[in-house]
Chain A
Amino acid sequence: MVTLTHYVVLSSVLFGLGAIGFVTRRNALILFMSVELMLNAVNLMLVAFSMFRADMGGQVMVMFIYAVAAAEVAVGLALLIALFRHVREVDVNSFSVLKW
Chain B
Amino acid sequence: MESYLFLIPFFPLLGFVLNGLFGKKAGKTFVSYVGCASVGFSFVMAVVAVNDLVSRPVEDRQLVQILWSWMAVGSLHVDLAFLIDQLSAVMILVVTGVGFLIHIYSIGYMHHDASYWRYFSYLNMFVFFMCMLVLGANYVVMFVGWEGVGLASYLLIGFWYEGDDNADAGKKAFIVNRIGDFGFVLGLFLMFITFGSLSYLEVFPKAFHMHEAGQLALNSPVMVAICLLLFLGATGKSAQIPLYTWLPDAMAGPTPVSALIHAATMVTAGVYMVARSNILYTLAPTALLTVAFVAAATALMAATIGILQNDIKRVLAYSTVSQLGYMFIGVGVTAYWAGIFHLMTHAFFKACLFLCSGSVIHAMGGEQDMRSMGGLARKMPITYVTMLVATIAIAGIPPFAGFFSKDEILWKAFTFPYYPGAGKVIWFMGTLGAGITAFYMFRLIHMTFHGKFRGTHEQEHHLHESPLTMTGPLMILALLSFVGGWLGISPLIGHVLGGVPNVVEHFMEPVFEHSQEVIAASVAVQHHSHALEWTLMGLSVLIAACGIYGAYVVYIRRFPELPETLSKTYALHYKLVYNKYYVDEIYYHLVVLPIYYFSVFLWKVVDVVIIDGLGINGQSWLVQNGSGAVRNVQNGYLQSYGAFMLVGLAAVLWYFLWLQ
Contacts and interface: CB of A to CB of B under 8 A. Distances in A.
Nearest to A97: B636
Nearest to B627: A100
A21 to B, nearest CB: 10
A96 B643 contact: no
Given A19-B646, A22-B639, A98-B636, 18 more contacts: A22-B642, A23-B639, A23-B642, A23-B646, A24-B639, A31-B638, A92-B637, A92-B638, A92-B639, A93-B637, A95-B638, A96-B635, A97-B636, A99-B634, A99-B635, A99-B636, A100-B631, A100-B632
Interface of B: 631-632, 634-639, 642-643, 646
13 contacts: A23-B639, A23-B642, A23-B646, A24-B639, A31-B638, A92-B637, A92-B638, A95-B638, A96-B636, A97-B636, A99-B634, A100-B634, A100-B635
Nearest to B643: A23
Interface in A44-100: 92-93, 95-100
Q: Which 4 A-B pairs have the closest CB atoms?
A: A96-B636, A99-B636, A100-B631, A23-B643
A98 B638 CA distance: 10
Contacts of A96: 635-637
A97 B636 CA distance: 6
Nearest to B640: A23
A31 B639 CA distance: 9
Contacts of B643: 23
Contacts of B632: 100
Contacts of B636: 95-99
A46 B643 CA distance: 24
B426 to A, nearest CB: 84
Nearest to B631: A100
Question: Interface SS of chain B: helix, strand, loop or mixed?
Answer: helix
Contacts of A19: 646
A19 B645 CA distance: 10
A92 B642 CA distance: 12
Contacts of B646: 19, 23
A69 to B, nearest CB: 17
Contacts of A95: 636, 638
Nearest to B637: A96
Interface of A: 19, 22-24, 31, 92-93, 95-100
A22 B646 CA distance: 10
A5 B646 CA distance: 23
Contacts of A92: 637-639
Contacts of A23: 639, 642-643, 646
A94 B632 CA distance: 17
Contacts of B638: 31, 92, 95
Contacts of B637: 92-93, 96
A99 B642 CA distance: 15
B644 to A, nearest CB: 10
Nearest to A16: B646
A95 B643 CA distance: 16
B393 to A, nearest CB: 90
| Interface hub of B631, B634, B637 (most chain A Cβ within 10 A) | B637
A18 B150 CA distance: 88
A100 B634 CA distance: 6
A19 B648 CA distance: 13
Contacts of B642: 22-23
Contacts of A93: 637
| Interface hub of A19, A92, A95, A100 (most chain B Cβ within 10 A) | A100
Contacts of A97: 636
A99 to B, nearest CB: 3
A89 B328 CA distance: 102
A53 B46 CA distance: 112
A24 B639 CA distance: 7
A23 B639 CA distance: 5
Contacts of B635: 96, 99-100
Contacts of A99: 634-636
Contacts of B639: 22-24, 31, 92
A23 B636 CA distance: 14
A80 B646 CA distance: 23
A11 to B, nearest CB: 14
A96 B634 CA distance: 10
Contacts of B634: 99-100
A22 B643 CA distance: 8
Contacts of A24: 639
A23 to B, nearest CB: 5
| Interface hub of A93, A95, A99 (most chain B Cβ within 10 A) | A99
Nearest to A22: B642
Contacts of B631: 100
A94 to B, nearest CB: 10
A24 B646 CA distance: 13
A63 to B, nearest CB: 25
Contacts of A31: 638-639
Nearest to A19: B646
Nearest to B649: A19
A96 B638 CA distance: 8
A93 B637 CA distance: 6
B390 to A, nearest CB: 88
Nearest to A25: B639
A96 B642 CA distance: 14
A92 B638 CA distance: 7
A9 to B, nearest CB: 15
Nearest to A98: B636
A24 B640 CA distance: 9
A52 B631 CA distance: 48
A52 to B, nearest CB: 20
A78 to B, nearest CB: 17
B614 to A, nearest CB: 28
B89 to A, nearest CB: 84
A14 to B, nearest CB: 15
A72 to B, nearest CB: 15
| Interface hub of B636, B643, B646 (most chain A Cβ within 10 A) | B636
